[in-house]
Structure 1
Amino acid sequence: MIRLGLLILATLAGLVVVLWQLGDGAAPDRVPAAAPTASAPATPQPPEPAAPLASEAPSGIVPAARQTPEQAPRFPGPPLEPSPEFAAGTPAPDLPPGAAGATLYVTADRVNMRSGPGTGNPVVTGLDGGTAVEALGPPDAEWVQIRTPSGQEGFVSGQFLSTQAP
Protein backbone atom coordinates (compact mmCIF):
# COMPACT_ATOMS: atom_id res chain seq x y z
CA MET A 1 0.00 0.00 0.00
CA ILE A 2 2.79 2.37 0.86
CA ARG A 3 4.48 1.75 -2.49
CA LEU A 4 1.24 2.59 -4.35
CA GLY A 5 0.92 5.88 -2.45
CA LEU A 6 4.54 6.76 -3.20
CA LEU A 7 4.04 5.90 -6.88
CA ILE A 8 0.98 8.19 -7.12
CA LEU A 9 2.82 10.99 -5.29
CA ALA A 10 5.83 10.66 -7.62
CA THR A 11 3.55 10.72 -10.69
CA LEU A 12 1.80 13.88 -9.51
CA ALA A 13 5.13 15.54 -8.73
CA GLY A 14 6.39 14.63 -12.20
CA LEU A 15 3.27 16.15 -13.82
CA VAL A 16 3.72 19.36 -11.83
CA VAL A 17 7.36 19.63 -12.94
CA VAL A 18 6.48 18.99 -16.60
CA LEU A 19 3.66 21.54 -16.55
CA TRP A 20 5.94 24.04 -14.80
CA GLN A 21 8.60 23.62 -17.47
CA LEU A 22 6.12 23.86 -20.37
CA GLY A 23 4.35 26.88 -18.93
CA ASP A 24 5.92 30.24 -18.18
CA GLY A 25 6.28 29.42 -14.50
CA ALA A 26 3.85 32.10 -13.29
CA ALA A 27 0.21 31.62 -12.42
CA PRO A 28 -2.00 33.25 -15.07
CA ASP A 29 -4.02 35.33 -12.61
CA ARG A 30 -0.90 36.85 -10.99
CA VAL A 31 0.55 39.90 -12.66
CA PRO A 32 3.92 41.12 -11.41
CA ALA A 33 3.51 44.44 -9.69
CA ALA A 34 5.58 47.38 -10.89
CA ALA A 35 8.09 48.58 -8.35
CA PRO A 36 7.08 52.00 -7.02
CA THR A 37 9.57 54.77 -7.57
CA ALA A 38 10.61 56.81 -4.59
CA SER A 39 10.96 60.09 -6.46
CA ALA A 40 7.41 60.49 -7.90
CA PRO A 41 4.05 59.39 -6.54
CA ALA A 42 2.33 56.70 -8.57
CA THR A 43 -0.54 58.01 -10.69
CA PRO A 44 -3.06 55.61 -12.15
CA GLN A 45 -2.84 55.32 -15.91
CA PRO A 46 -6.02 54.91 -17.93
CA PRO A 47 -6.28 51.53 -19.64
CA GLU A 48 -5.48 51.41 -23.32
CA PRO A 49 -8.56 51.14 -25.55
CA ALA A 50 -9.15 47.74 -27.07
CA ALA A 51 -8.55 47.30 -30.76
CA PRO A 52 -11.75 47.73 -32.78
CA LEU A 53 -13.40 44.57 -34.03
CA ALA A 54 -13.05 43.72 -37.68
CA SER A 55 -16.17 44.47 -39.71
CA GLU A 56 -15.71 41.38 -41.86
CA ALA A 57 -15.48 37.82 -40.69
CA PRO A 58 -12.09 36.12 -40.93
CA SER A 59 -11.55 34.25 -44.18
CA GLY A 60 -11.98 30.78 -42.63
CA ILE A 61 -15.43 31.48 -41.14
CA VAL A 62 -18.57 31.04 -43.24
CA PRO A 63 -21.43 33.45 -42.33
CA ALA A 64 -24.52 31.78 -40.87
CA ALA A 65 -26.75 33.15 -43.64
CA ARG A 66 -24.85 31.06 -46.18
CA GLN A 67 -24.79 27.94 -43.99
CA THR A 68 -28.54 27.63 -43.45
CA PRO A 69 -30.55 26.93 -46.61
CA GLU A 70 -33.83 28.79 -47.09
CA GLN A 71 -36.78 26.72 -45.92
CA ALA A 72 -39.50 26.11 -48.49
CA PRO A 73 -42.67 24.06 -48.05
CA ARG A 74 -42.31 20.66 -49.65
CA PHE A 75 -45.98 19.98 -50.27
CA PRO A 76 -47.95 23.23 -50.35
CA GLY A 77 -51.24 21.52 -51.28
CA PRO A 78 -54.27 23.02 -52.95
CA PRO A 79 -55.61 26.44 -51.98
CA LEU A 80 -58.04 26.44 -49.07
CA GLU A 81 -61.74 26.90 -49.67
CA PRO A 82 -64.46 27.70 -47.12
CA SER A 83 -66.45 24.78 -45.77
CA PRO A 84 -69.98 24.40 -47.19
CA GLU A 85 -71.56 24.83 -43.77
CA PHE A 86 -70.06 28.30 -43.51
CA ALA A 87 -71.20 29.51 -46.90
CA ALA A 88 -72.22 33.15 -47.11
CA GLY A 89 -75.57 32.75 -45.35
CA THR A 90 -77.35 30.94 -48.17
CA PRO A 91 -80.02 28.48 -47.03
CA ALA A 92 -79.67 24.83 -47.95
CA PRO A 93 -81.31 24.10 -51.33
CA ASP A 94 -83.60 21.33 -49.96
CA LEU A 95 -85.51 23.68 -47.63
CA PRO A 96 -89.05 24.65 -48.49
CA PRO A 97 -89.44 28.27 -49.64
CA GLY A 98 -90.14 30.71 -46.82
CA ALA A 99 -88.97 28.34 -44.09
CA ALA A 100 -85.49 29.79 -43.68
CA GLY A 101 -85.07 33.19 -42.17
CA ALA A 102 -88.07 33.14 -39.77
CA THR A 103 -87.29 34.79 -36.44
CA LEU A 104 -87.96 32.61 -33.42
CA TYR A 105 -87.61 33.34 -29.71
CA VAL A 106 -86.41 31.09 -26.89
CA THR A 107 -89.27 30.53 -24.41
CA ALA A 108 -87.42 28.70 -21.59
CA ASP A 109 -85.03 30.29 -19.08
CA ARG A 110 -82.04 28.41 -20.51
CA VAL A 111 -81.92 26.02 -23.50
CA ASN A 112 -79.09 23.89 -24.85
CA MET A 113 -78.25 24.34 -28.53
CA ARG A 114 -76.86 21.06 -29.87
CA SER A 115 -74.74 20.11 -32.87
CA GLY A 116 -77.45 17.84 -34.27
CA PRO A 117 -81.14 17.00 -33.76
CA GLY A 118 -81.59 14.97 -30.58
CA THR A 119 -80.30 14.92 -27.03
CA GLY A 120 -77.56 12.45 -27.97
CA ASN A 121 -75.62 15.20 -29.78
CA PRO A 122 -73.08 17.39 -27.95
CA VAL A 123 -74.10 20.81 -26.64
CA VAL A 124 -72.71 23.71 -28.69
CA THR A 125 -73.83 26.51 -26.40
CA GLY A 126 -76.64 27.59 -24.11
CA LEU A 127 -79.29 30.16 -25.04
CA ASP A 128 -81.00 32.43 -22.53
CA GLY A 129 -84.74 33.01 -22.51
CA GLY A 130 -85.95 35.64 -24.99
CA THR A 131 -82.99 35.25 -27.34
CA ALA A 132 -84.00 35.91 -30.95
CA VAL A 133 -82.68 33.28 -33.37
CA GLU A 134 -83.02 32.70 -37.11
CA ALA A 135 -84.62 29.47 -38.28
CA LEU A 136 -82.59 27.65 -40.92
CA GLY A 137 -85.17 24.91 -41.36
CA PRO A 138 -88.90 24.39 -40.87
CA PRO A 139 -89.84 26.26 -37.67
CA ASP A 140 -92.56 23.76 -36.70
CA ALA A 141 -90.29 20.66 -36.64
CA GLU A 142 -89.47 18.65 -33.53
CA TRP A 143 -85.84 19.87 -33.72
CA VAL A 144 -85.28 23.23 -35.44
CA GLN A 145 -81.98 24.16 -37.03
CA ILE A 146 -81.17 27.74 -35.97
CA ARG A 147 -78.51 30.44 -36.18
CA THR A 148 -77.76 32.63 -33.15
CA PRO A 149 -77.10 36.39 -33.39
CA SER A 150 -73.37 35.61 -33.03
CA GLY A 151 -73.49 33.32 -36.10
CA GLN A 152 -73.33 29.91 -34.38
CA GLU A 153 -75.51 27.22 -35.93
CA GLY A 154 -77.12 24.28 -34.18
CA PHE A 155 -80.38 22.57 -33.24
CA VAL A 156 -82.89 23.38 -30.50
CA SER A 157 -85.97 21.43 -29.53
CA GLY A 158 -89.03 23.00 -31.18
CA GLN A 159 -90.99 22.98 -27.89
CA PHE A 160 -88.69 25.76 -26.57
CA LEU A 161 -89.10 28.08 -29.59
CA SER A 162 -91.94 30.43 -30.47
CA THR A 163 -92.70 33.00 -33.15
CA GLN A 164 -94.09 35.32 -30.42
CA ALA A 165 -91.65 37.65 -28.69
CA PRO A 166 -91.70 37.23 -24.87
Structure 2
Amino acid sequence: MSNDSNGFNGIDDALIRNVASLFVHRLFPSFRRPAYLGCPNELIEQAVLAAIARSASERGVIAEVVDLRPAPADRLNHVTARLADARWHGTRSEGADIKLLILRGFDLLEGSENDVPTYPFRSEFQFDENHVWLFVGRDWRRLNRMFNGPKLPLYMAATSCTPKEWRN
Protein backbone atom coordinates (compact mmCIF):
# COMPACT_ATOMS: atom_id res chain seq x y z
CA MET A 1 0.00 0.00 0.00
CA SER A 2 1.22 3.44 -0.89
CA ASN A 3 2.01 6.05 1.71
CA ASP A 4 0.67 8.94 -0.33
CA SER A 5 -2.61 10.62 0.58
CA ASN A 6 -4.47 9.01 -2.32
CA GLY A 7 -3.47 5.51 -1.29
CA PHE A 8 -3.15 2.54 -3.61
CA ASN A 9 -5.89 2.06 -6.20
CA GLY A 10 -8.06 4.69 -4.56
CA ILE A 11 -7.59 3.51 -0.97
CA ASP A 12 -7.20 6.37 1.44
CA ASP A 13 -4.46 5.20 3.82
CA ALA A 14 -5.39 7.79 6.43
CA LEU A 15 -8.99 6.55 6.45
CA ILE A 16 -7.81 2.93 6.78
CA ARG A 17 -5.63 3.89 9.76
CA ASN A 18 -8.52 5.85 11.27
CA VAL A 19 -10.89 2.86 11.00
CA ALA A 20 -8.26 0.61 12.58
CA SER A 21 -7.75 3.10 15.44
CA LEU A 22 -11.51 3.33 16.04
CA PHE A 23 -11.63 -0.41 16.57
CA VAL A 24 -8.26 -0.90 18.28
CA HIS A 25 -8.37 2.13 20.58
CA ARG A 26 -6.39 2.92 23.73
CA LEU A 27 -8.50 0.64 25.96
CA PHE A 28 -8.40 -2.33 23.56
CA PRO A 29 -8.85 -5.23 24.29
CA SER A 30 -10.07 -4.64 27.85
CA PHE A 31 -12.91 -2.46 26.66
CA ARG A 32 -14.14 -3.17 23.15
CA ARG A 33 -17.75 -3.79 22.24
CA PRO A 34 -18.37 -6.06 19.26
CA ALA A 35 -18.46 -4.03 16.06
CA TYR A 36 -19.48 -4.39 12.45
CA LEU A 37 -17.75 -2.92 9.44
CA GLY A 38 -18.99 -2.56 5.88
CA CYS A 39 -16.19 -2.41 3.32
CA PRO A 40 -17.12 -1.30 -0.21
CA ASN A 41 -14.73 -3.66 -2.02
CA GLU A 42 -12.19 -6.48 -1.61
CA LEU A 43 -9.13 -4.21 -1.74
CA ILE A 44 -10.39 -1.94 1.02
CA GLU A 45 -11.48 -4.94 3.08
CA GLN A 46 -8.03 -6.52 2.83
CA ALA A 47 -6.31 -3.24 3.70
CA VAL A 48 -8.47 -2.46 6.73
CA LEU A 49 -8.34 -6.02 8.09
CA ALA A 50 -4.55 -5.99 7.76
CA ALA A 51 -4.38 -2.64 9.59
CA ILE A 52 -6.69 -3.87 12.37
CA ALA A 53 -4.78 -7.14 12.74
CA ARG A 54 -1.47 -5.23 12.88
CA SER A 55 -2.82 -2.80 15.51
CA ALA A 56 -4.26 -5.66 17.57
CA SER A 57 -0.97 -7.54 17.34
CA GLU A 58 0.87 -4.49 18.71
CA ARG A 59 -1.35 -4.86 21.79
CA GLY A 60 -0.63 -8.57 22.07
CA VAL A 61 -3.94 -9.72 20.55
CA ILE A 62 -3.83 -12.24 17.72
CA ALA A 63 -6.46 -11.91 15.00
CA GLU A 64 -8.20 -14.88 13.46
CA VAL A 65 -10.26 -14.41 10.32
CA VAL A 66 -13.13 -16.80 9.63
CA ASP A 67 -14.40 -16.50 6.06
CA LEU A 68 -18.12 -17.23 6.13
CA ARG A 69 -18.64 -16.46 2.44
CA PRO A 70 -18.53 -19.96 0.95
CA ALA A 71 -21.37 -21.23 3.19
CA PRO A 72 -22.39 -18.53 5.70
CA ALA A 73 -24.93 -20.47 7.80
CA ASP A 74 -22.82 -23.64 7.97
CA ARG A 75 -19.65 -21.77 8.85
CA LEU A 76 -21.45 -19.69 11.48
CA ASN A 77 -22.79 -22.92 12.98
CA HIS A 78 -19.18 -24.16 13.26
CA VAL A 79 -18.19 -20.96 15.08
CA THR A 80 -21.19 -21.35 17.41
CA ALA A 81 -20.27 -24.97 18.16
CA ARG A 82 -16.69 -23.91 18.89
CA LEU A 83 -17.91 -21.25 21.34
CA ALA A 84 -20.31 -23.67 23.02
CA ASP A 85 -17.51 -26.22 23.37
CA ALA A 86 -15.21 -23.62 24.95
CA ARG A 87 -17.95 -22.54 27.34
CA TRP A 88 -18.70 -26.15 28.24
CA HIS A 89 -15.06 -26.65 29.18
CA GLY A 90 -14.94 -23.54 31.36
CA THR A 91 -14.51 -19.83 30.91
CA ARG A 92 -11.28 -18.04 30.17
CA SER A 93 -8.74 -18.42 32.91
CA GLU A 94 -7.28 -15.32 34.50
CA GLY A 95 -4.48 -13.91 32.37
CA ALA A 96 -5.30 -16.04 29.31
CA ASP A 97 -4.89 -14.40 25.94
CA ILE A 98 -7.88 -12.81 24.23
CA LYS A 99 -8.16 -13.31 20.47
CA LEU A 100 -9.71 -10.98 17.90
CA LEU A 101 -12.21 -12.98 15.87
CA ILE A 102 -13.12 -11.42 12.52
CA LEU A 103 -16.08 -12.93 10.69
CA ARG A 104 -15.86 -12.04 6.97
CA GLY A 105 -18.99 -12.16 4.84
CA PHE A 106 -21.28 -11.67 7.81
CA ASP A 107 -23.65 -9.52 5.72
CA LEU A 108 -24.57 -12.66 3.75
CA LEU A 109 -26.46 -13.87 6.83
CA GLU A 110 -28.96 -11.02 6.58
CA GLY A 111 -32.52 -12.18 5.97
CA SER A 112 -35.16 -14.23 7.74
CA GLU A 113 -33.89 -17.52 6.29
CA ASN A 114 -30.75 -17.00 8.38
CA ASP A 115 -32.45 -16.43 11.74
CA VAL A 116 -31.95 -20.11 12.58
CA PRO A 117 -28.10 -19.93 12.70
CA THR A 118 -27.96 -16.41 14.16
CA TYR A 119 -30.14 -17.12 17.22
CA PRO A 120 -27.83 -19.77 18.73
CA PHE A 121 -24.76 -17.78 17.65
CA ARG A 122 -25.91 -14.74 19.62
CA SER A 123 -26.60 -16.80 22.72
CA GLU A 124 -23.04 -18.14 22.61
CA PHE A 125 -21.03 -15.12 21.45
CA GLN A 126 -22.57 -12.59 23.84
CA PHE A 127 -21.20 -14.53 26.82
CA ASP A 128 -17.86 -15.35 25.24
CA GLU A 129 -14.88 -14.03 27.22
CA ASN A 130 -12.20 -15.37 24.90
CA HIS A 131 -12.69 -13.08 21.91
CA VAL A 132 -13.09 -9.53 20.74
CA TRP A 133 -15.54 -9.54 17.79
CA LEU A 134 -15.55 -7.81 14.42
CA PHE A 135 -18.25 -8.61 11.85
CA VAL A 136 -17.26 -7.66 8.30
CA GLY A 137 -19.21 -7.55 5.06
CA ARG A 138 -19.43 -5.69 1.79
CA ASP A 139 -22.94 -4.35 2.29
CA TRP A 140 -23.19 -1.93 5.21
CA ARG A 141 -26.98 -1.65 4.82
CA ARG A 142 -27.43 -5.38 5.34
CA LEU A 143 -25.13 -5.35 8.37
CA ASN A 144 -26.94 -2.33 9.74
CA ARG A 145 -30.33 -4.06 9.42
CA MET A 146 -28.96 -7.16 11.18
CA PHE A 147 -27.67 -5.24 14.19
CA ASN A 148 -30.29 -2.50 14.38
CA GLY A 149 -33.53 -4.33 13.63
CA PRO A 150 -35.39 -4.76 16.95
CA LYS A 151 -37.15 -7.90 15.71
CA LEU A 152 -33.92 -9.57 14.59
CA PRO A 153 -31.73 -11.96 16.62
CA LEU A 154 -28.62 -9.75 16.57
CA TYR A 155 -30.34 -6.52 17.64
CA MET A 156 -27.90 -4.28 19.55
CA ALA A 157 -25.24 -7.04 19.57
CA ALA A 158 -22.64 -4.84 17.83
CA THR A 159 -22.03 -1.22 16.89
CA SER A 160 -20.91 0.15 13.55
CA CYS A 161 -17.34 1.29 13.02
CA THR A 162 -17.97 1.92 9.31
CA PRO A 163 -16.93 5.38 8.12
CA LYS A 164 -19.63 7.44 6.39
CA GLU A 165 -17.68 7.24 3.13
CA TRP A 166 -18.20 3.47 3.01
CA ARG A 167 -21.88 3.35 3.88
CA ASN A 168 -23.39 2.36 0.55
TM over 0.5: no
- Structure 2 length normalisation: TM-score? 0.15
Structure with greater Cα Rg: 1
Query: Which structure has the higher relative contact order (CA within 8 Å, separation 6+)?
Result: 2
Question: Which structure: greater helix fraction?
Answer: 2
